[in-house]
């Protein structure tokens, strides 16, 4: 039997949607019993990943893309939260996702470092039968209650 998502949130792929994405993720993580520190870290990782999709996968040209959308799904399974971020942009080569060197001090560009530091697993895959990508992230949770 497939695990049902705790959250399935679909929205347009624009920077104006980031607040809604963060709020939906935070509320779901809180309801799952995740502690505040871990919730904040996962929400920030989701925000960074969403922004990367908007800026790089869609190339900041969301209005010209036929399906400029993101789908955020959260699953609670085996004492961990699984995050899926699906887009419908052109397939992205997972090998091209390289963070810039930390020694290169300047604003921006550290999202991948942060995502990989916070999450236990980060894997990018292409949608099997459609144009698009799925970013799978997983984090073992600290629960604040039952």
CA 85/CA 138 separation, integer angstroms:
12
Q: According to the model, what pLDDT value does residue 1 have?
A: 47
CA 27/CA 99 separation, integer angstroms:
29
CB atoms within 10 A of CB 42: 23
Please list the residues that pair with 85 across neighbouring strands. 72, 135
Q: According to the model, what pLDDT value does residue 51 have?
A: 92
Task: At 125, list the tokens.
Answer: 């895959």
Q: According to the model, what pLDDT value does residue 7 have?
A: 96
Contact 144, 35 (CB under 8 A): yes
Q: According to the model, what pLDDT value does residue 26 have?
A: 98
Report domain extents, the chain. Answer: 7-140
Task: At 61, list the tokens.
Answer: 């040209």
Q: What is the pLDDT along the chain (146 residues), one digit of tens a residue?
A: 467 889 999 999 989 999 999 999 999 999 988 889 999 999 999 999 999 898 888 875 554 556 689 999 999 988 899 999 999 988 887 676 666 565 665 555 667 888 999 999 999 999 888 788 999 999 987 555 54
Fold classified for 7-140: Heat Shock Protein 90 (3.30.565)
């Amino acid at each position: 039997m497939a695990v049902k998502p705790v959250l399935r949130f679909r929205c347009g792929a624009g920077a104006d949607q980031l607040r809604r994405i963060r709020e939906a993720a935070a509320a779901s993580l809180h309801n799952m019993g995740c502690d505040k520190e871990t919730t904040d870290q996962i929400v920030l990782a989701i925000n960074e990943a969403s922004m990367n999709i908007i800026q790089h996968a869609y190339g900041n040209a969301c209005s010209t893309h036929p399906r400029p959308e993101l789908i955020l799904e959260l699953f609670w399974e085996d004492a961990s939260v699984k995050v899926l971020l699906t887009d419908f942009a052109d397939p992205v080569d997972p090998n091209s996702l390289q963070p810039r060197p930390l020694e290169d001090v300047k604003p921006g560009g550290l999202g991948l470092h942060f995502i990989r530091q916070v999450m236990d697993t980060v894997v990018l895959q292409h949608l099997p039968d459609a144009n698009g990508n799925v970013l799978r992230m997983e984090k073992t949770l600290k629960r604040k209650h039952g």
